Amino acid sequence: MVSFEKCTNMLFKGETRLVALYFIFAVCMFGCAQTAFHLGRRDGIEATVDHFINLGVLEVEEEDDDN
């Protein structure tokens, strides 16, 4: 049976590999956070505008596609 220490020693041979793994993890987390922020902002703005239209605070004129 393989012990936890043996596995971690095999994965993290030296500090540079550990720092590289933390860097990769940080880049992935930054990408996830940015994606969630932009999607949330877009959906939130759309929901807010729809809510204001339903309340009658905003009036929207429909564009004619007949040119």
**Residue in the structure block whose two tokens are 């703005």:** 45
Tens digit of pLDDT for each residue in 19-46?
888 899 999 999 999 999 999 999 999 9
Structure confidence at residue 42 (pLDDT)? 92
Q: Report whether pLDDT(67) > 60.
A: no
